[in-house]
Amino acid sequence: MKHFLITFIIGMTSIAIGFTMIFFEIKDYKEVNGCDLYNPEYYTTTNTFNVSDKDLNITLEDGFIRYDIIIDESMKDKVKVETNEAVLTEVSDNRLYVRESDLHSYQNYNHREDLLDLFHKVIDGLKEHKIYTCESNEVVRITCSKEMRNRIKMKMND
At residue 36 the predicted structure's pLDDT band, cuts being 50, 70 and 90, is low
Instruction: Count Cβ atoms below 10 Å from residue 1 Cβ, excluding itself.
Output: 5
Query: Band of the pLDDT at 94, cuts 50, 70, 90?
Result: confident
pLDDT at 13 over 90: yes
Domain ranges of the chain: 32-156
As a whole number, mean pLDDT of residues 114-137 equals 76
What integer pLDDT is reported at residue 63 of this predicted model? 67
Which residues have CB under 8 Å from 37's CB, separation 6+? Answer: 118, 121, 122, 132, 134
Q: What's the one-letter identity of residue 41?
A: E
Residue 26 half-sphere exposure toward CB, CA atoms < 13 A: 6
How confident is the model over 43-56, as pLDDT tens digits? 577 888 887 788 88
Question: What confidence tier does 20 reach under pLDDT thresholds 50, 70, 90?
Answer: very high
- Nearest partner of 24 among 133, 129, 132, judged by Cα: 129
Q: CB atoms < 10 A from the CB of 17, how many?
A: 10
Confidence band of 112 (pLDDT split at 50, 70, 90): low
Q: pLDDT at position 106, please?
A: 45
Weakest-pLDDT range from 28-37, 66-75, 90-99, 136-145: 28-37
Residue in 85, 88, 91, 100 with CA at minimum distance from that of residue 57: 91
CA distance 66 to 135: 10
Whole-structure pTM over 0.75, yes or no? no
How confident is the model over 54-80, as pLDDT tens digits?
888 888 777 677 788 889 889 888 888
* Phi, psi for 121 (deg, rounded to 5): -65, -40
Residue percentage of the chain with pLDDT more than 70: 80
